[in-house]
Amino acid sequence: MALPSRSRLEENLLGVQQRIAQAALRAGRSPESVRMLAVTKYVGPETAEQLAAAGCQDLGESRPQRLWRLAENWRGPPVRWHLVGRLQRNKVARTLPWTTLIHSVDSERLLDAIESAAARLELRPQVLLEAHLSGEESKQGMSADEIGEVLRGRGRWPHIAIQGLMTMAPLEGGQEAARETFRALRRLRDALRSEETPLAELSMGMSGDFETAIEEGATIVRIGAALFEGVSSDESDESPETGL
Ligand SMILES: *Cc1c(COP(=O)(O)O)cnc(C)c1O
C-alpha cells in the first residue's frame, strides 16, 4: 500500500508547491521568498518520512509530545522541526533541543521559561511571537501592544532570537477576514521592526488561505490538510500510545 499513497502524497506536494509559486509571482515576489512548512499532525511517522524523502525539509507539529516522538524516532532524511502549537512551560526543556523554530510564543512567562532553559542548555532558540489580531475570543496569542512591549523588553531574554511574527486567520469570515488579519500582521511587523530586530519572518497561511497569506507577505506557510488529501496514513493522531 505504500506506493500508491506515496505517489498521491508527492502529487499533493507538487500541487501545493506550484500554488505557492504562482501566488508569489502574482504578488510580484520570488517563489523562493516563501517557505512551506508541512504540518504532520494528521499523519504518522511513515507518511512524514515519505514527505521528507519527497523533498520537504521543514516539518511542524502542533503538540510538543508528538514532536518529541517523531523527532526522537526519525528514520527519514534530515529535517528541521518546527513547533506551531501551544508550548506549556513544563515542556520547554525537552522541546528546545529538537526545534529549529517555535512559532507559537504567546506570553512573557513562556519567554522567561524558554530563556532559563536555553541558558541552562546553552542553546539560542529561534522563536516567533504569536499575535492575536482577529478579535475572536478564545484564540491564543498576544495583542499588538503586548508584542510591542516584548520587543522593547527583549534584553530580558538574551538567549532567545525573535525572528518574526505568527498568526492564525479567524475561523469565520472566509478569505476576506483572513486577508485583513494577515495584512494586520504585516503592518504590525512593519511598525515594530528595527535594525536589531528586523522580524524577517511572517508565519501565516494554512491549507485554506495560504495564497491570500502569500499575497500579504507570508514568508512561511504552514500546510497540513492539503498535503494529505486522499493519502491513507500509516497511523492516526489519535493512536492509543500517543498519551505521553
Ligand atoms: C494544523 C495547523 C496548521 C495546518 O492547518 P491545515 O489547515 O491542515 O493546513 C497550521 N498551523 C497551525 C498552528 C496548526 O495547528
Interstrand relation of 35-39 and 58-61 (parallel, antiparallel or unpaired): parallel
pLDDT at 239 (0 to 100): 47
CA-closest candidate to residue 7, choices 60, 51, 38: 51
- Model-level pTM? 0.93
d(CA 85, ligand 1 centre) in Å: 9
Are 231 and 9 contacting, i.e. CB atoms less than 8 angstroms apart? yes
DSSP annotation string for 131-167: E--S--TT--SB-HHHHHHHHHTGGG-TT-EEEEEEE
From residue 243, alpha-carbon distances to 35, 65, 183, 239 in Å are: 31, 8, 38, 8
- All cell numbers assigned to 51: 514527505
d(CA 225, ligand 1 centre) in Å: 8
C-alpha to C-alpha distance for 66 and 71, rounded to whole angstroms: 8
| Residue at grid coordinates 546553552 | 122
d(CA 77, ligand 1 centre) in Å: 23
- Identify which of 16, 20, 35, 39 to mutate to test ligand 1's pocket (most ligand atoms within 8 A of the CB): 39
pLDDT of the chain, 244 residues: tens digit per residue: 555 544 799 999 999 999 999 999 999 999 999 999 999 999 999 999 999 999 999 999 999 999 999 999 999 999 999 999 999 999 999 999 999 999 999 999 999 999 999 999 999 999 999 999 987 776 689 999 999 999 999 999 999 999 999 999 999 999 999 999 999 999 999 999 999 999 999 999 999 999 999 999 999 999 999 999 999 877 655 444 443 3
Q: Provide CB contacts within 8 A for 171, sequence distance 6+.
A: 136
Q: Whose CA is nearest to atom 4 of ligand 1?
A: 224
Are 223 and 207 contacting, i.e. CB atoms less than 8 angstroms apart? yes
Closest atom, ligand 1, to C-alpha of 227: 9
Closest atom, ligand 1, to C-alpha of 37: 10
Q: Whose CA is nearest to atom 10 of ligand 1?
A: 222
For 157, other C-beta atoms within 10 Å of its C-beta total 21
d(CA 6, ligand 1 centre) in Å: 21
Closest atom, ligand 1, to C-alpha of 208: 7
CA-closest candidate to residue 77, choices 98, 52, 56: 52
CA angle 53, 234, 46 (to 5 degrees): 25
CA angle 34, 44, 22 (to 5 degrees): 20
Are 192 and 148 contacting, i.e. CB atoms less than 8 angstroms apart? yes
Residue 221 forms beta bridges with which residues?
36
Closest atom, ligand 1, to C-alpha of 206: 9
- All cell numbers assigned to 200: 524577517
d(CA 193, ligand 1 centre) in Å: 26
d(CA 202, ligand 1 centre) in Å: 15
Are 69 and 242 contacting, i.e. CB atoms less than 8 angstroms apart? yes
Closest atom, ligand 1, to C-alpha of 39: 4
| Residue at grid coordinates 510564543 | 105
Within 6 A (CB) of ligand 1 lie: 39, 41, 62, 84-85, 206-208, 222-226
